């Protein structure tokens, strides 16, 4: 199982699970954004992934990269707000290196590329209470797992767990980027909605990998 | 939540359709992608002006499409920056061959989506420049943060840059005028109540009956701090002081005083705020030579107001006075 | 009650003072007695137009003082008709020697106080005629009751009669134009929330979260009946049907469609109502040739709207289109 | 005591008591008007009588009529609304016949004149749920008392009691005049604010008469 790679079926399952989990957490993400932002993050993500699901419904992608590229362009053209371009760029960069099945190193490279995309567009660093605080530990964890000889499933699971922790860690932070930064110190004590949606997406990726691994 | 709407998901397109039906002499509403352009199309040889952002701030921006102001506006979902595609289409519709100016309010989402649209437009051989409005002194400015929000000052930028484009300025000159307004305009707002985004169905923040939020933006986001409810004169002073301080404005200067309603505050209260703001400015030796009072950039049904001060010189005054013919702002035509 | 005010007793004068400071090119605000007249004074040889009534409906009436509309306005206390004295002074200020028209909304208080003022003015050799606006179809009309209220149609009467006076009509002719508008205009309103008069400190009526009031007036009075909250399209139809029925208007006729906000409803919702109202009218073969959408006659911060339909002919259309230059309505100047 | 007439001192005391009782009942009158009108009646009356008190403070009127005339002109110029002209006319007409001290017949004549003034201006009849429903029984009761040989104090007391009943009787009525008429059948079940303020004023008149009688 640790040798299994993640292919197109996994990517499709990931996005199907992501669509579901985003829809299930629409209200929670709205509530998180209501506290320190403008209350639309859940609505934005749900609108985007609903469109993604519709787009992928008829498609027959040949690689994980093709799946992720469709996700990227669809999010970019339907989400809007800050999350639209950021996730759009993340998935676009992630897609680039994913033209074949992914081993653990491939997973790490994909996540690093996504993170770099987010950082390039958003100009945020860790500790600024944004989705960067979920993607950074995720990418680091995946790379460490790969270097420690883990398989792709374990790498993506490590990334997901790290993202969940990263999302949690945004709670005490004072935002300096994104809409929450307008609140200054009042932003502390609330979880960043983008970090949380990032964690949800990466957990969906890990679960899809595990489901495939289990079935393999 | 009680609203005069049908389906929360259809508020923006249904409202814009009505807007188009009500103002056929001013605008054309395009449905897919959703944007608004001037009736009659781009003006040949004139710099095109495009602005946009999340919906919920009406009449901004679509209400300012027309001669002397914007050439096109791009309304996103409620409080959500539009995606690049409608911005691109609006940019094409606004292009009269002399380039297009994007007037962007400083929000991460607006900046990113307009950036992408500008790249796409450049790829189609349209010259695009952007200015970013960031007049809200409630937010501390810093190199290391997202910076200040763009709020009510945006209306003044759109009017004045629009007049510059209409008189025939080239793209760089229109950018310079817009930058001059941005450099000389500051705002700060207060909320007495929150607003409710249709898809959220709940007020954007919680506020006790005896509290108000000082330093709110235009997206129903909480402000910098809550204070106990106070009289209008005191609130006016709390908004005006940081504005004046940040503008570093001194006795003898001329200003435009703009009291803006957040959507749910009676006009009479806005004039009451204007009354005291005017006195405070006069007391500091400033001369209020132009005024604007009303609901020009709103947060749905939020009760509250913002105060904006623009330092005027001869040029800005003339451009402010220039004719404008839009659904929401009209003069001289 | 949260309001941007100081002392509840001083809301009207403080707000009007601010109004005067903001619009010195349009109006002069007189403090004792309190009334508003055109900057520059009465126009020699032109019929003078005066309207007034309780405050709380801003921009009505003071916002409509200026070329092409009113010559003077008389704001009473909040929701309370003014006394004869300021009406008399306003009448004198509006008199350019060609007589004065009083535009009175049909409320016992308004009618009585304007009547007395007219008598006093006649005693000072000013010819005064009055028209009484009663466009609200929510109230059953009868010889034996106080009759219908004057609501949003008032704005249209003021605009169109103002244009008639401006083009040089004599007093009888201006009266005839005003009466023609009154005969051809009908309105009906809905409230989603009540409003709070500053001196009362409590909402004007109680409404559950899932109820709305159909057939409300502009004084925060309860309507004819409560119904369960419904979608905007359905509410629009409930307002529009009695209006059209009462107007006895038929296929092929031209109309002005006016969707008015009660003060606390976002502009986007008004356009959404306009959208469906336009479709309903079109479906009945009516042609909407003119429109007005916005907060033109309000009930403080009440959430709600009214729909007004005016049957247009060539003359009324021309007078509607004529230039007007007031703080709250401007076109052609 | 039954032979005592009501003079200038009584008129001044009446208005002083009226001012007090209107101020004390400001909120109640607002509440009554809030239910079936626009919620300003208490505010209007309080503003008017406060002005009346200020006006009378320096004055040295020579007759009840002079007092009532000051009341009339002051109410007319400060109250506004429907109540301003109606009460203004009522007090103006009342003043006309009151240039000397009033006996019982004089009280009846004064109240009849006031009622006629209200009816002439407001064009309302009894049963329309207005102040006419307080003033009509009041005038009738005063006339009956006078014809039955009562004194002035008894006549005004009879009028006051009848006005209180008249106000009470407006509760079930459906309004056809004034602002409450817009409510149609929904106006039933609420007391008319103007009838109530009328009752308060006439009770003040009776109490002033009784206090004078008691002291005489
Ligand atoms: N500069 C940035 N870099 C990285 N992420 C950002 C940045 N600005 C905002 N975000 C992320 O976007 C999220 C908000 O997304 P969303 O609510 O959809 O957009 P908006 O803020 O425009 O309403 C934030 O919670 C944060 O994680
Ligand atoms: N036509 C009328 N005739 C007699 N009394 C009237 C008439 N119309 C109104 N009223 C009285 O006036 C009272 C309302 O006064 P007020 O609230 O001060 O004025 P408004 O109705 O203008 O707000 C009503 O309760 C009623 O008693
Ligand atoms: Mg958001
Ligand atoms: Mg947003
Ligand atoms: Mg009233
Ligand atoms: Mg009243």
Distance between CA atoms of residues D12 and D34, nearest Å: 31
In this complex, the residue of A30, A36, A178 whose CB is nearest that of residue B200 is A30
Q: What is the number of helices (H) and of strands (E) in chain B?
A: 8, 14
> Model ipTM?
0.95
pLDDT at A216: 44
Is chain B touching chain C, with at least 3 CB–CB pairs below 8 Å?
yes
Q: Tell me the per-residue pLDDT of C57-109, one tens digit each, with 9 for 90 and over.
A: 999 999 999 999 999 999 999 999 999 999 999 999 999 999 999 999 999 99
Is B108 touching ligand 1 by the criterion CB < 6 Å? yes
Tell me the backbone φ, ψ of residue C196, rounded to 5 degrees: -120, 115
Task: Kindly report the nearest CA distance between residue C7 and chain B, in angstroms.
Answer: 8
Do residues D3 and D146 touch, judged by C-beta distance below 8 A? no
Are the C-beta atoms of residues A64 and A10 closer than 8 Å to each other? yes
Output DSSP code: residue C219. S
Could you tell me the pLDDT band of residue D102, with boundaries at 50, 70 and 90?
Answer: very high
Q: Looking at beta carbons, which residues of chain A come within 8 Å of B202?
A: 34, 39
Find the CB nearest A80 among B76, B221, B225: B76
Per-residue pLDDT at A112: 98
Which residues is B256 bridged to in the sheet? B290, B310
**For residue C115, what pLDDT is reported?**
97
Is the backbone of residue C55 left (phi > 0), alpha (psi -120 to 50) or beta? Answer: beta
Residues C8-56: pLDDT tens digits? 999 999 999 999 999 999 999 999 999 999 999 999 999 999 999 999 9
pTM for the whole thing? 0.96
Q: What are the backbone angles phi and psi of residue A166, rounded to the nearest 5°? A: -60, -40
- Angle in degrees, CA B62, C23, B302, rounded to 5: 45
Atom of ligand 2 nearest to the CA of D38: 23
Bond preceding residue C173 cis, omega within 30 of 0: no
A47 touches chain B (CB under 8 A): yes
| B23 given a catalytic annotation | no
Q: Give the pLDDT mean for A207-211.
A: 97
What residue spans define the domains of chain C?
11-183, 185-328
- Unique residue bearing structure tokens 């505050």: B265
Please choose from D133, D178, D198 the residue to mutate so as to test ligand 2's pocket, defined by most ligand atoms within 8 A of CB: D178
Q: What is the rounded CA–CA span in Å between residue C238 and residue C234?
A: 6
What are the residues whose beta carbons fall under 8 Å from the beta carbon of C87, sequence distance 6 or more? C35, C50, C52, C74, C102, C113, C114, C116, C117
Distance from CA of D99 to the nearest CA of C (A): 25
Tell me the CATH class for C185-328: alpha beta
Distances (CA, A) of B313 to B68, B177, B246, B318, C24: 19, 12, 18, 9, 20
CA A70 to chain centre: 15
DSSP reduced 3-state for B48 = strand
> Where does the pLDDT of residue C144 fall: very low under 50, low under 70, confident under 90, or very high at 90 and above?
confident
Chains that touch D (3 or more CB pairs under 8 A): C
| Closest residue, chain C, to B2 (C-alpha) | C192
Active site residue B102: no
Domains of chain D: 8-215 (1.25.40.340)
Inform me whether the pLDDT recorded for C304 exceeds 60: yes
Q: Is A75 in the pocket of ligand 1 (CB under 6 A)?
A: no
pLDDT over 50 at D162, yes or no = yes
CA distance A38 to B218: 9
- Our answer on whether the CB atom of D64 is closer than 6 Å to any ligand 2 atom is no
Judge: B80–A184 Cβ closer than 8 Å, yes or no.
no
The secondary structure of B13-35 as a DSSP string is HHHHHHHHHH-TTTEEEEETTEE
pLDDT on residue A215: 44
> What's the CA angle centered on C265, arms C261 and C269, to 5 degrees?
90
Q: Please tell me the predicted confidence (pLDDT) of residue D3.
A: 52
Which of C79, C115, C142 is the closest to D38 by Cβ? Answer: C79
Give the Cα-Cα-Cα angle B243, B245, B247 (nearest 5 degrees): 70
pLDDT tens digit sequence for A149-164: 999 999 999 999 999 9
Give C189's strand partners: C306
Terminal C-alpha separation, chain C: 40
Cβ atoms of B131 and B103 within 8 Å: the answer is: yes
Contact C299, C222 (CB under 8 A): no
Separation of alpha carbons C267 and B86, rounded Å: 22
The pLDDT tens digits of the residues spanning A79-89 come to: 999 999 999 99
Q: Name the residue among B199, B237, B190 with its Cα closest to residue B218.
A: B190
CB of D193 shorter than 6 A to ligand 2: yes
Distance in angstroms (rounded) separating the CA atoms of residues B189 and B167: 33
Do A and D touch (≥3 CB pairs < 8 Å)? no
Confidence class of residue A214 from pLDDT cuts 50, 70 and 90? low
Q: Relative to the CA of A36, which ligand 1 atom is closest?
A: 25
Q: CA torsion sign, B78 to B80 to B84 to B89?
A: positive
How far apart CA B311 and CA B318 sit, in angstroms, is 13
Query: Is some CB atom of chain B closer than 8 A to the CB atom of A156?
Result: no
Q: Tell me, what's the pLDDT at B61?
A: 97
Quick check: CB of A194 below 6 Å from ligand 1?
yes
Partner-chain contact A176 B144, CB within 8 Å = yes
User: Rounded to whole angstroms, how far apart are CA atoms C178 and A141?
Assistant: 78
Residue nearest to atom 7 of ligand 2 (CA): D178
Residue pair C52/C16 in contact (Cβ under 8 Å)? The answer is no
Is any ligand 2 atom within 6 A of the Cβ of residue D139?
no
State the DSSP H helix or E strand holding residue C258, giving kind and residue range, or none if neither: strand C254-261
3-state DSSP helix/strand/coil % of chain A, to nearest 5: 75, 0, 25
- Would the pLDDT of D215 be above 50? no
> Rounded to an integer, what distance in angstroms lies between the CA atom of residue C73 and that of residue C27?
10
Per residue in C239-272, pLDDT (tens digit) is: 999 999 999 999 999 999 999 999 999 999 999 9
| Fold type of domain C11-183 | Rossmann fold (3.40.50)
Chain B closest CA to A167's CA: distance in Å?
20
As beta bridge partners, residue C185 has C310
pLDDT mean for each 10 residues of chain B (333 residues): 95 98 98 97 98 98 98 97 98 98 97 97 97 93 84 98 98 98 98 93 90 94 90 98 96 98 98 98 98 98 98 98 98 93
Contact D213, D1 (CB under 8 A): yes
Contact C199 D40 (CB under 8 A): yes
Residue nearest to atom 23 of ligand 2 (CA): D81
Q: Is B217 on the interface with C (CB under 8 A)?
A: no
The answer to whether the beta carbons of residues C270 and C259 sit under 8 Å apart is: yes
Helices (H), chain C: 11-22, 84-94, 108-123, 153-166, 171-183, 232-247, 267-283, 314-321
**Per-residue pLDDT, D1:** 40
CB contact under 8 A, B108 and A176: no
pLDDT value at residue D214:
56
Q: Which residues of A touch B85 (CB under 8 A)?
A: 77
Residue C130 bridge partners (DSSP):
C102
Q: How many angstroms away from the CA of A3 is the closest CA of chain B? A: 40
The phi, psi pair for B73, rounded to 5°, reads: -135, 150
Q: Over the stretch B164-222, which tens digit does the pLDDT of each residue have? A: 999 999 999 999 999 999 999 999 999 999 999 998 888 988 899 999 999 999 998 88
Structure tokens at B184: 């000389």
Q: What size, in residues, is chain B?
A: 333
Q: Which residue has the tokens 């005049």?
A: D177
Contact D182 C139 (CB under 8 A): yes
Q: Does the pLDDT at position A3 exceed 70?
A: no
Name beta bridge partners: B70: B65
Write out pLDDT tens, residues C173-227.
Answer: 999 999 999 999 999 999 999 999 998 888 988 899 999 999 999 998 888 889 9
Alpha-helical segments (H) within A97-129: 104-122
CB A127: neighbour CB atoms within 10 A? 16
- Alpha-carbon distances, residue B71 vs B34, B122, B211 (angstroms): 15, 18, 41
């Amino acid at each position: 199982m640790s040798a299994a790679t993640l292919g197109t079926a996994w990517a499709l399952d990931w996005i199907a699970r992501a669509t579901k989990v985003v829809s299930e957490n629409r209200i929670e993400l709205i509530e998180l954004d209501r506290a320190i932002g403008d209350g639309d993050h859940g609505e934005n993500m749900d609108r985007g992934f609903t469109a993604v699901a519709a787009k992928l419904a008829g498609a027959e992608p040949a690689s994980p990269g093709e799946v992720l590229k469709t996700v990227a362009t669809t999010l970019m053209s339907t989400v809007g707000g800050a999350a639209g371009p950021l996730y759009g760029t993340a998935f676009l960069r992630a897609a680039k290196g994913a033209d074949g099945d992914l081993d653990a190193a491939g997973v790490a490279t994909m996540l690093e590329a996504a993170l770099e995309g987010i950082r390039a567009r958003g100009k945020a660093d860790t500790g600024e209470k944004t989705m960067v605080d979920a993607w950074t530990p995720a990418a680091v964890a995946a790379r460490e797992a790969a270097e420690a000889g883990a398989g792709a499933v374990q790498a993506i699971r490590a990334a997901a767990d790290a993202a969940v922790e990263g999302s949690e860690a945004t709670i005490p932070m004072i935002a300096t980027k994104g809409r929450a930064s307008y609140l200054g110190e009042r932003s502390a004590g609330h979880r960043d909605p983008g970090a949380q949606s990032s964690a949800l997406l990466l957990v969906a990726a890990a679960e899809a990998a595990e489901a495939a691994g289990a079935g393999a | 939540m009680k609203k005069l709407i049908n389906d929360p998901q259809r508020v923006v397109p249904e409202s814009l359709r009505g807007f188009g039906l009500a103002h056929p002499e001013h605008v054309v509403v395009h449905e897919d992608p959703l944007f608004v352009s001037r009736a009659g199309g781009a003006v040949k040889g004139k710099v095109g002006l495009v602005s946009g952002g999340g919906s919920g701030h009406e009449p901004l921006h679509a209400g300012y499409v027309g001669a002397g102001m914007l050439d096109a506006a791009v309304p996103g979902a409620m409080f959500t920056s539009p995606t690049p595609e409608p911005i691109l289409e609006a940019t094409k519709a606004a292009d009269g061959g002399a380039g297009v100016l994007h007037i962007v309010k400083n929000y991460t989402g607006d900046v990113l989506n307009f950036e992408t649209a500008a790249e796409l437009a450049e790829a189609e051989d349209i010259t695009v420049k952007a200015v970013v409005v960031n007049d809200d002194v409630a937010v501390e400015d810093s190199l290391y943060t997202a910076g200040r929000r763009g709020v009510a000052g945006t209306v003044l930028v759109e009017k004045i840059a629009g007049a510059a484009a209409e008189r025939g300025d080239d793209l760089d000159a229109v950018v310079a005028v817009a930058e001059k307004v941005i450099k000389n305009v500051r705002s700060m707002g207060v909320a007495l109540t929150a607003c409710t985004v249709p898809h959220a169905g709940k007020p954007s923040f919680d506020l006790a009956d005896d509290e108000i939020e000082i330093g709110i933006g235009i997206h129903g986001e909480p402000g910098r701090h809550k204070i106990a409810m106070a009289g209008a004169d005191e609130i006016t002073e709390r908004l005006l002081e940081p504005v004046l301080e940040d503008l570093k404005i001194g006795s003898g200067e001329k200003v435009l005083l703009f009291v803006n309603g957040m959507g749910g505050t009676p006009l009479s209260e806005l004039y009451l705020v204007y009354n005291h703001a005017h006195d405070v400015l006069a007391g500091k030796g400033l001369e209020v030579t132009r005024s604007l009072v009303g609901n020009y950039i709103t947060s749905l049904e939020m009760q509250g107001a913002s105060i904006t001060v623009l330092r005027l010189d001869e040029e800005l005054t003339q451009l402010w006075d220039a004719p404008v013919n839009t659904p929401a702002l009209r003069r001289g035509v």
